[in-house]
A and B are shown apart, each in its own frame.
Chain A
């Protein structure tokens, strides 16, 4: 009976949450396609001058989109330029998450809470929806990259040394492919899950707009400072220890992200169990 209730709540959240976000999925697919076109355009430009021989692989394209920026050293000659492709993806993910939990709480969610008499069920369902949304966003991104690489590039997970140097701004030597795979395909997803759960928790403590602002501030700080305190660094491939010797290694990043996930879910549950829903409505 209890399992039946949980599955029904989760099914409802996934259905309604996904339905609300459908236009945003189209928007993110559009932007990822644009980013891929920018990448392949760059490859073509270098091919014309014979600096690059091969076509870009799926790994090269994914690194281009999720690379972030090199460690910033403040100086008058080089003003801070936030990596706009990376930031756009992060703020769009935050944009997906901002609305649904609080909106559901003050509408249909009240009915669910009254009938199930169990706040933990509702909160758990929202966490699962959150994780599912982030994973589905990244799946959308990887699908777009895969499709465009099929047409314009090489369907391979092996990075190209020339493209890595000329377009992705790092030297490809002694990199273990398995570790690179984790840095490129696992860490961005895990980091976004951690940040999204944190955002959802803060949105109940403050309001969704303030939680969004805090997440944007964390993103800007992550770009400015190369520090494990600002977890946005874990999603930037150029700040990974594989490429930048003082960056974070994969294991540390995974552990930190899991810690943030656990803290966010726990704090959220504890806060929500005492949350005056009717007053906030």
Chain B
């Protein structure tokens, strides 16, 4: 199991598509730095001492209210799926799996594939966000958020607001962990669709289509808490409601587990 997992992880991460995807993410986050963070450096230098300076936590991409963060948090499933989402489909189509199955257990391969796709999807999304946070921290002071400043995106009804205003870095890193998990779950949907669909590019695009479909469902039922592209932003344009999010993610994960692992079970039997 370890050997095949190592091979799959190497294929997922030592991969031109992974680099391209991370680069596209970094370009988007880099543009946000250029347009929204760098001008704040000048503002901080040139304004009166009495005015509170802008902080990392009010201006990084996760703080929201700019075009680049809206764009990033809509296309992140595409970024996550490009590197490795269609690898299982391609392996089956090209006959590569037959080589694997003669050398190792099928269940080991399927589990390793699942882990590699999950990790590569999450990592592709997190790296540009970490880079953005790091570059913002180079340019702006890491001032503990102040409620009276009125420039921080978290309001009193946001989940973890008290946490944000006392331990902001921990809040940001926990949110990044949430983004990692959500990206990973979304990308594994492509694995499930590899059995259901017969076209490579359709498989790659299913995580994004799933996000759009969930956004539509959230609008249909007038429940903005369901919309992933809204609650996944650290600025919580829609308040993070765990009572809705946990079942939502569980439903998605169950769909993937049932479809993918059921087919795996059929194949191994």
> Which A residues lie at the B interface, using CB under 8 A?
20, 31, 34, 38, 74-76, 79-82, 84-85, 87-88, 91, 95, 98-99, 102-103, 208-209, 212-213, 216-217, 220-221, 224-225
Contact = CB atoms under 8 A, between A and B. Distances in A.
A76 B236 CA distance: 11
23 contacts: A76-B153, A79-B64, A79-B235, A79-B237, A80-B65, A81-B230, A82-B70, A82-B74, A84-B219, A85-B216, A88-B216, A91-B208, A98-B201, A99-B201, A209-B204, A209-B205, A213-B75, A216-B74, A216-B208, A217-B75, A220-B74, A220-B75, A224-B71
A271 to B, nearest CB: 19
A34 B212 CA distance: 15
A213 B78 contact: yes
Contact of B212 (A79, A88, A102, A212): A88
Given A38-B220, A84-B212, A225-B67, A98 B75 contact: no
A contact patch SS: helix
B174 interface: no
B contact patch SS: helix
Interface residues on B, range: 20 to 34
A98 B202 contact: yes
A216 B71 CA distance: 9
Contacts of A82: 70, 74, 215, 229
Interface string B71-101: 1001100100110000000000000000000
Contacts of A85: 216, 219
B209 interface: yes
B66 interface: yes
A232 B75 CA distance: 17
Contacts of B235: 79
Contacts of B213: 88
A220 B209 contact: no
Contacts of B66: 74
Contact of A217 (B64, B71, B153): B71
A102 B199 CA distance: 11
Contacts of B81: 209
Contacts of A75: 65
Contact of B201 (A74, A209, A217): A209
A225 B66 CA distance: 11
A277 B209 CA distance: 29
Nearest to B237: A79
Nearest to A79: B237
A217 B78 CA distance: 11
Contacts of A213: 24, 75, 78
A195 B76 CA distance: 22
Contact of A216 (B75, B82, B153): B75
